Amino acid sequence: MEYNKKLSISNSFNLMNKDDINNENKLKNINVIKNGNDFKLFDLDKDNYKITDIVSNSVIDVKSNEIFINIKHILTSTLRTRLLICLFSGKKDLKSLRNDLGKPSTSILHGIKELDKLNLIKKEKKNYCLSSNGTMLAMNVIKLIQNIYSINNNSHFWDSHSIKDIPYESLKKIHLIQNAKSIRSSDNDLAKTSKEYISLVSKSKDIKVLLPIFSSVHLDVLLKSLNNGANLELIANKNILEFIRNNGYGKKFSSFVEDINTNNNKNNKNNKNNSLKIWELSKEFKLFLSSGNNFLSLGLFSDDGYYDDSIILVDNTKEGINWGIEVFEYYKEYSEQIDILKYFNIKN
């Protein structure tokens, strides 16, 4: 098997030949894996629409006059949107609303009247508050704003890359990585993203990796972390695992497992308590994700199908790390754990 002549920008990675990647005889399709393209809107007629969510197989028939006009009333008015968000925190009188929104009473009262027509706001004595419908809607408006902020915060990253292999449910929760920062390589520092990744992994004790490429740079730091006591869970497809085996890393992983087994059998006081687990996924995926106990790292492929090692997203927040773990666990559900010693069965 030959490496593709077109390497990623920093030349740190050896990418597989496209013919090998797309070889349907080697890779099985997992039809149950869904992505954002599974959410479709069909135009039935001028007044009715049907929204089909293939993931849950649910169908919603809506009338434009009932749904879309309501959306227009809320989202086309900054004041009405801010009123919903402001009252989501609790009851407020007109004076408090004036102070919070910085608007005159007449404008606020007009906005309240419009939202009251939609049964989203109610008045209790001198205070205004959200109805049950208003509370639920406000929660989703806030989530929508957070999702938009998250996308805009790193629009340069999302615009130029494919997101088709980010799970559907994770895309809906993109607000959880709204604090992620992009790390870019430059002409003066082509290996900046690799150095950042090495730094993050070396400080983590529990590492979960979706590995869609063969990269000695990344495999070396993962092995080093293993030997320093970290736990590693890794998911790759068959072709990547073959690269790992054929380039000496299968032997290194096997040696690590053998050392653990030998020490445990001898009841050695210096036993390693860390572990290595590897899963094989029967389809190609274009998503390089690593989630440790202290970081999330996300790398994507460009639209032409090649991994872009010049930029990654990094998130150190609890929400971002958990988002990454959810993506990893999603893929693990459709993967098969391998017996490392048997799988890599290296013969000298």
Q: What is the pLDDT of residues 88-125, one digit of tens each?
A: 999 999 999 999 999 999 999 999 999 999 999 999 99
Question: Same domain, yes or no, for 224 and 134?
Answer: no
77-81, 273-277, 337-341, range with the lowest pLDDT: 273-277
For residue 299, what are the β-bridge partners? 288
Q: Give the residue from 111, 143, 175 where a domain finishes.
A: 143
Residue 267 confidence (pLDDT): 59
pLDDT band for position 70 (cuts 50, 70, 90): confident
Helix, strand, coil share of the chain (percent; to 5): 45, 20, 35
The count of structural domains within the chain is: 2
Residues 152 and 177 sit within 8 Å (Cβ to Cβ): no
Per-residue exposure over 64-103, b if at least 16 CB sit within 10 Å of its own CB, e if not: eeeeeeeeeebeeeebbbbbbebbbeeebeeeebeebbeb
- CATH number, position 292: 3.30.870.10
- For residue 2, being part of any structural domain is answered with no
Residues 6+ apart with CB under 8 A from 337: 277, 278, 279, 280
On whether residue 103 sits in a domain, the answer given is yes
Sheet arrangement for strand 296-300: 181-184, 311-315, 296-300, 287-291, 206-210, 231-237, 276-281, 335-337
**Is 17 within a domain?**
no
* Residues 137 and 268 reside in one and the same domain: no
CA–chain centroid gap for 206, Å, is: 18
Q: Which domain holds residue 106?
A: 67-143
The predicted model gives 26-40 an average pLDDT of 41
Say which CATH number the domain at 90 has: 1.10.10.10
Query: Are 167 and 29 members of one domain?
Result: yes
Q: Is the pLDDT of residue 66 over 80?
A: no
Is residue 158 domain-resident?
Answer: no
Categorize the per-residue pLDDT at 82 as very low, low, confident or very high, splitting at 50, 70 and 90: very high
Are 230 and 207 in contact, with CB atoms under 8 Å apart?
yes
| Domain-terminating residue out of 143, 178, 200 | 143
**Residue 218 near residue 210, CB atoms below 8 Å:** no
Closest of 77, 70, 149, 158 to residue 117, by C-alpha: 70
Q: Residue 231: which of 251, 260, 211, 198 has the closest Cα?
A: 260
Q: Are 276 and 320 in a shared domain?
A: yes
- Let me know whether 138 and 80 are in one domain: yes
* 174 and 84 both lie in a single domain: no
Model confidence at 47, pLDDT cuts 50, 70, 90, reads: low
Looking at the predicted structure, is the pLDDT value of residue 2 above 60? Answer: no
User: Based on the domain organization, do 219 and 99 belong to the same domain?
Assistant: no
Q: Per DSSP, what are the bridge partners of residue 232?
A: 207, 276
Write out pLDDT tens, residues 173-207. Answer: 999 999 999 999 999 999 999 999 999 999 999 99
Greater confidence (330 vs 42) lies with 330
Over residues 131-172, the pLDDT tens digits come to 999 999 999 999 999 999 999 999 999 998 999 999 999 999
Q: List, for residues 205-248, the tens digit of each pLDDT value.
A: 999 999 999 999 999 999 999 999 999 999 999 999 999 999 99
Same domain, 135 and 274: no
Do 108 and 230 fall within a single domain?
A: no
> Are both 259 and 205 inside the same structural domain?
yes
Round the average pLDDT of the chain to a whole number and report it: 83
Q: Is residue 177 included in any domain, yes or no?
A: yes
In a domain, 61, yes or no: no
Q: Is the pTM of this model over 0.85?
A: no
Select from 80, 109, 143 the last residue of a domain.
Answer: 143
Q: In what order do the strands lie in the sheet with 58-63?
A: 39-43, 48-53, 58-63
pLDDT, greater one: 55 or 289: 289
Residues 178 and 302 in one domain: yes
Q: 90 and 234 share a domain?
A: no
Using CA atoms, how far apart are residues 198 and 194, in angstroms rounded to an integer?
6
